[in-house]
């Protein structure tokens, strides 16, 4: 059976800090820190909603996180400003290594899916804008389960939707919580260490594989 690859989207294929340029117009030199806090709160809100079983989609978490971050940095953002920033979040760029890595993985014969906390429609827009939608058989969203990663049910949902079994399926993610979640649910997982300073959570659950770039993903998995 062909190996199935589930690619996380935000932070793995798509650079969430691509919004920094848009933020500079509103918060100047605070833009990098603002972007980091926004991303951290976005994930925190998804975790909390998943645990509380009080679901709103990822776009809602992103908007709530922007409201928090705006207050935290005392940024005088109008509702119109926030809508412009949320619009920018829907057309973020891919990382530089993504296209080449996907081309090589496709040539190697892997079955590739995008697997995201974002809604299917939002992810479709992101991937098309980044010019990489063509590489994926389909988009699998946690929105279909009304929960978020790392709920084990969403990884099981991915396997059902992709027609795969855990032994033949890999998650590819830059997010340690996602890698640990996938492994805990019976999949294999590659951690994409996008920063040399990135740390993996010391939970006693290690990535099946650690990468610094998507370019050699096909060779590493084939070993």
* Catalytic residue IDs: 8
Q: How many CB atoms lie within 10 A of CB 41?
A: 19
Q: How many CB atoms lie within 10 A of CB 121?
A: 14
The single residue listed with the structure tokens 């919004």 is 19
User: Which are the contacts of 219, defined by CB distance < 8 A and separation ≥ 6?
Assistant: none
HSE (CB half, 13 Å, CA atoms) of 180?
11
């Amino acid at each position: 059976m062909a190996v199935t690859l589930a690619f996380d989207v935000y932070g793995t294929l798509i650079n969430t800090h691509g919004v920094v340029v848009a933020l500079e117009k509103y918060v100047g030199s605070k833009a990098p820190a603002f972007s980091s806090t926004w991303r951290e709160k976005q994930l925190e809100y998804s975790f909390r909603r998943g645990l509380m079983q009080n679901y709103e989609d990822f776009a809602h978490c992103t908007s709530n996180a922007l409201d928090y971050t705006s207050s935290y940095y005392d940024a005088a953002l109008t509702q119109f400003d926030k809508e412009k920033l949320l619009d920018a979040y829907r057309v973020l760029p891919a990382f530089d290594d993504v296209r080449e890595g996907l081309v090589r993985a496709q040539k190697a014969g892997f079955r590739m899916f995008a697997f995201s906390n974002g809604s299917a429609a939002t992810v479709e827009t992101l991937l098309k804008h980044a010019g990489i939608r063509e590489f994926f058989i389909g988009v699998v969203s946690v929105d279909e389960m009304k929960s978020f990663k790392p709920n084990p049910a969403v990884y099981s949902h991915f396997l059902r939707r992709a027609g795969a079994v855990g032994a033949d399926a890999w998650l590819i993610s830059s997010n340690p919580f996602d890698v640990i979640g996938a492994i805990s649910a019976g999949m294999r997982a590659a951690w994409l260490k996008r920063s040399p300073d990135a740390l993996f959570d010391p939970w006693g659950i290690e990535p099946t594989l650690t990468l610094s770039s998507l370019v050699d993903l096909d060779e590493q998995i084939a070993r």
